[in-house]
């Protein structure tokens, strides 16, 4: 495969002038991993930090060992499935066994990685929709309870014939022991893989009704992973700290498979990942201990890292921070770069295209607000209301077409409005492509809440609240948050004579919404939900109200409520805050507001 130094759209155009096979020569993920193992056999592929004590020895896999265990895992799945093709459901945190289940499952059949924060009924819907006959789940564990959902899954999913427990569980096979029982030289998979064979089914955030499972082919995943590796200039000397879960496309491909195709080392930060508070406090210590060169973090983690003091020399090897999953506040990126002298690079991606649309290249300067250049062999355009492509710099709905775009959802009826007949993927993002080919996102046409990189469908919340007899209308959306990017909130209008309390509504929402991160942080009663001229809920107004309330709360907390007035307005695809000083305001108030706004992905101005 061809390595390149990408600095501009001219470099990607140069790549595209040659045959695609020069860019990506492999047709299957196993074939690509086998090639990497042949090149880097004794290099470390995966290092697992067992706990937050730097003195505890980590668990390690070389490339040769990883390939051998992937082949054993594939052979195990084929053996268990018998005459059926293996279809493997995964309920695992970001631990080495998850990598074995993912790549071994894709080698043998199809994998469906599932968010283990969902409730059992929702997980069961996904398992049934994916037709899974094997489940790999984390066994009983004091740090993370996943296993309690398994008995209900087995009752609700009759096709689920085999359950393997990582770490063991009474009455169930231990996943690692089952792999070890497979002969050391497991049979190699087919020599001529089909690049268009379905490798995985990834559920999109916020499924309602029939589960929404995006299909990935081997070609989709390889293109996204290798494209990301080239944008980031990954080499075998790199060490990436990747705490993203593998049910998230960023963890699996953007920061996972990309590193393995490059010969780099992936460091996994404990069973709880970056949610482990003890690890988070020692983050910089582990970065220095493992000579980490690439940091992978959502913007909320970047804000946390700004508050941590690194030990001397901890950043000696770090060359870049990679981020995505939710909007990147320009000032947050700039603050990180100023403090740590480490460049930040942004990304635009979707589940439906194996995680990557565009990336800011390592060798190019960061452009505020940009999501970078499209991957090689990938087209991105903005389209206006008339369906015509927009001129450079003009806003429209972004579309993408290329080898990374998947073949659609398992239920083809759900492709309408997202996948077009001529192979375009409609992202639902409002944005533009500038004259240099860089992609910018300025708003969202799709009504989705993004909490810490996780997509939440507001309809889940709205349908739950509408079950209450006192609720006339319900609308959910996101309010800005420094740590999560957005938090789900809801607005309701009540029927005349309503007697229900907010506590009742909150309890109903929490009971009916299947995933805890989607529980609304608060529910506000409005005399009337704002509507458009044609009778649809006007979500931009609700986002404006939520944003204004949050900023007023932050001003109050910072002691600025009597010095500054804030107004939030829709700035044509995104929100903008205007701060106006009140009589008695101090000259330093602008800098205090700049500090306050640094972690928010909101445009703002101070009108002195």
pLDDT in tens, 422-453: 999 999 888 999 999 999 987 766 678 888 77
Residue 213 has pLDDT above 70, yes or no: yes
Rounded CA-CA distance 430/443 in Å is 5
- 521-540 burial, b at 16+ Cβ within 10 Å, e below that, comes to bebeeeeebeeeeeeebebb
Q: What is the mean pLDDT of residues 7-16?
A: 94
pLDDT at 393: 94
Rounded CA-CA distance 269/420 in Å is 40
**How many CB atoms sit inside 10 A of residue 599's CB?**
23
Instruction: Kindly report the backbone phi and psi dihedral angles of residue 548, in degrees, each rounded to the nearest multiple of 5, phi listed first.
Output: -60, -40
Q: What is the mean pLDDT of residues 169-179?
A: 96
Residue 574 has pLDDT above 80, yes or no: no
pLDDT at 335: 87
SS3 call for 132? coil
pLDDT at 210: 53
Q: Among residues 143, 129, 608, 116, which one has the least CA distance to residue 413?
A: 129
Beta carbons of 377 and 19 less than 8 angstroms apart = no
Beta carbons of 97 and 143 less than 8 angstroms apart = no
Answer whether 0.75 is exceeded by the pTM: yes
Whose tokens are 């300067």? That residue is 365
Residue 211 has pLDDT above 70, yes or no: no
Percent of the residues in the chain that have a pLDDT greater than 90, as a whole number? 70
Beta bridge partners of 296: 242, 322
Q: What is the mean pLDDT of residues 50-69?
A: 97
Q: What is the mean pLDDT of residues 258-267?
A: 98
pLDDT at 2: 79
Beta bridge partners of 449: 456
Which residues make Cβ contacts (< 8 Å) with residue 93, sequence separation at least 6?
A: 116, 138, 144, 146, 245, 271, 272, 273
Beta carbons of 298 and 452 less than 8 angstroms apart = yes
Percent of the residues in the chain that have a pLDDT greater than 70, as a whole number? 96
CA distances from 116 to 63, 150, 275, 487 (A): 28, 11, 14, 19
Q: What is the mean pLDDT of residues 313-337?
A: 88
595-596-598-602 Cα dihedral, nearest 10 degrees:
-140
Residue 334 has pLDDT above 80, yes or no: yes
CA distances from 357 to 373, 404, 417, 434 (A): 8, 8, 18, 15
- 28-40 burial, b at 16+ Cβ within 10 Å, e below that, comes to bbbbbbbebbeeb
Rounded CA-CA distance 131/160 in Å is 8
Residue 7 has pLDDT above 60, yes or no: yes
pLDDT at 534: 45
* Average pLDDT value for the chain: 91
Rounded CA-CA distance 315/291 in Å is 8
pLDDT at 455: 77
């Amino acid at each position: 495969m061809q390595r390149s130094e990408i600095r501009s759209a001219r470099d990607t155009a140069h790549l595209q002038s040659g045959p695609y096979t020069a860019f990506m020569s492999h047709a299957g993920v196993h074939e690509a991993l086998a090639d990497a193992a042949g090149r880097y056999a004794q290099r470390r592929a995966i290092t697992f930090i067992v706990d937050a004590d730097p003195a505890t020895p980590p668990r390690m896999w070389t490339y040769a060992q990883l390939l051998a265990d992937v082949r054993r895992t594939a052979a195990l799945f084929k053996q268990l499935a018998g005459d059926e093709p293996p279809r493997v459901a995964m309920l695992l945190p970001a631990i080495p066994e998850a990598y074995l289940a993912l790549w071994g499952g894709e080698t043998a059949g199809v994998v469906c990685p599932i968010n283990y924060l969902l409730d059992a009924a929702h997980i069961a819907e996904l398992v049934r929709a994916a037709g899974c006959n094997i489940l790999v789940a984390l066994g009983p564990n004091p740090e993370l309870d996943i296993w309690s959902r398994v008995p209900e899954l087995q009752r609700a999913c009759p096709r689920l014939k085999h359950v393997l427990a990582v770490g063991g569980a009474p009455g169930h096979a231990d996943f690692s022991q089952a792999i070890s029982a497979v002969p050391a030289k497991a049979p190699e998979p087919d020599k001529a893989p089909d690049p268009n064979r379905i490798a995985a089914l990834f559920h999109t955030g916020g499924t309602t009704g029939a589960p929404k499972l995006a299909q990935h082919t081997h070609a989709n995943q390889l293109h996204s992973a290798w494209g990301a590796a080239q944008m980031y200039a990954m080499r075998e000397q790199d060490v990436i700290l990747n705490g993203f879960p593998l049910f998230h496309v960023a963890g699996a491909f953007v920061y996972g498979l990309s590193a393995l195709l490059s010969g780099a080392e992936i460091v996994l930060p404990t069973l709880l990942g970056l949610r482990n508070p003890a690890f988070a406090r020692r983050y910089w210590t582990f970065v220095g201990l493992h000579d980490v060169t690439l940091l992978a973090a959502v913007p909320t983690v970047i804000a946390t890292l700004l508050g941590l003091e690194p030990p001397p020399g901890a950043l000696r090897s770090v060359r870049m921070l990679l981020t995505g999953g939710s909007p990147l506040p320009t000032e947050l990126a700039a603050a990180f770069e100023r403090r740590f002298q480490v460049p930040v690079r942004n990304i635009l991606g979707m589940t439906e295209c194996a995680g990557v649309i565009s990336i800011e290249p390592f060798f190019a300067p960061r452009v505020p607000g940009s999501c970078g250049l499209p991957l090689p062999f990938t087209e991105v355009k903005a389209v206006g209301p008339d369906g015509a492509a927009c001129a450079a710099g003009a806003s429209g709905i972004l579309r993408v077409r290329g080898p990374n775009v998947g073949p659609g959802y398992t239920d083809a009826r759900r492709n309408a409005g997202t996948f077009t007949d001529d192979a375009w993927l409609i992202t639902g993002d409002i944005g533009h492509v500038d004259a240099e080919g860089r992609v910018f996102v300025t708003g969202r046409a799709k009504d989705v809440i993004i909490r810490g990189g996780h997509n939440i469908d507001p309809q889940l919340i709205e349908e739950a609240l509408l079950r209450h007899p006192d609720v006339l209308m319900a609308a959910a959306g996101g309010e800005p948050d420094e740590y999560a990017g957005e938090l789900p909130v809801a607005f309701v209008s009540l029927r005349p004579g309503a007697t229900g309390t907010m506590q009742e509504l909150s309890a109903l929402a929490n009971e009916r919404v299947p995933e805890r991160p989607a529980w609304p942080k608060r529910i506000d009663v409005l005399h009337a939900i704002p509507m458009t001229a044609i009778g649809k809920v006007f979500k931009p107004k609700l986002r404006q109200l939520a944003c204004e309330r949050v900023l007023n709360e932050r001003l109050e907390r910072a002691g600025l409520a009597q010095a500054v007035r804030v107004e939030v307005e829709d700035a044509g695809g995104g929100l903008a805050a205007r701060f106006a000083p009140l009589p008695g305001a101090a000259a330093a108030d602008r800098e205090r507001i700049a500090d306050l706004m640094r972690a928010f992905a909101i445009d703002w101005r101070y009108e002195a």
